[in-house]
Amino acid sequence: MSAKKLGSADSLGQPVSVSARNTKLELSTESVSVHKSGIEFRSPTPFTEWSEMTVALQSPLDGSKVACNGVVVACVGNKHAGYHVSMLFTDMTRSAQERLSVLARSELGVG
């Protein structure tokens, strides 16, 4: 897997929705980093490592949404400072991969 950074979610211009079994978060764009193979974000609540999650990103280019499934690979922090969560995408559809590639090739992409 590649860890090429696509850009900050601030470039996406929309809040990012993250949901796990009993938790759903609408994250501010400042607290999210989007990568080709995953996402990192700051959360006020912890997530259990290896739990499955769904992330919804909205493109500023055409308004389309990209839904990605993934698994939490790391969650560090505490209830006072918040948690830094790292998630890898799994089983992405060809359509979702293509939409993320379009974002990577646009002005939102890095490198």
Provide the phi-psi class of 100: left if phi over 0, else alpha when psi is between -120 and 50, else beta: alpha
Q: What is the DSSP string of 39-97?
A: EEEEESS---TT-EEEEEEE-TTT--EEEEEEEEEEEEEETTTEEEEEEEEES--HHHH
Q: Which two tokens stand for residue 89?
A: 């995408």
Which domains are seen in the chain, by residue range? 5-104 (2.40.10.220)
How do residues 89-100 score in pLDDT, each as one tens digit?
Answer: 898 888 887 777
pLDDT of residue 96: 80
C-alpha 73/C-alpha 75 separation (Å) is 7
Give average pLDDT by consecutive 10-residue segment, the chain, 111 residues.
Answer: 42 59 70 79 90 79 78 96 92 80 53 34
At 26, is the secondary structure helix, strand, or coil? strand
C-alpha 16/C-alpha 58 separation (Å) is 8
Residue with tokens 């995408």: 89
> What DSSP designation does 36 have?
T
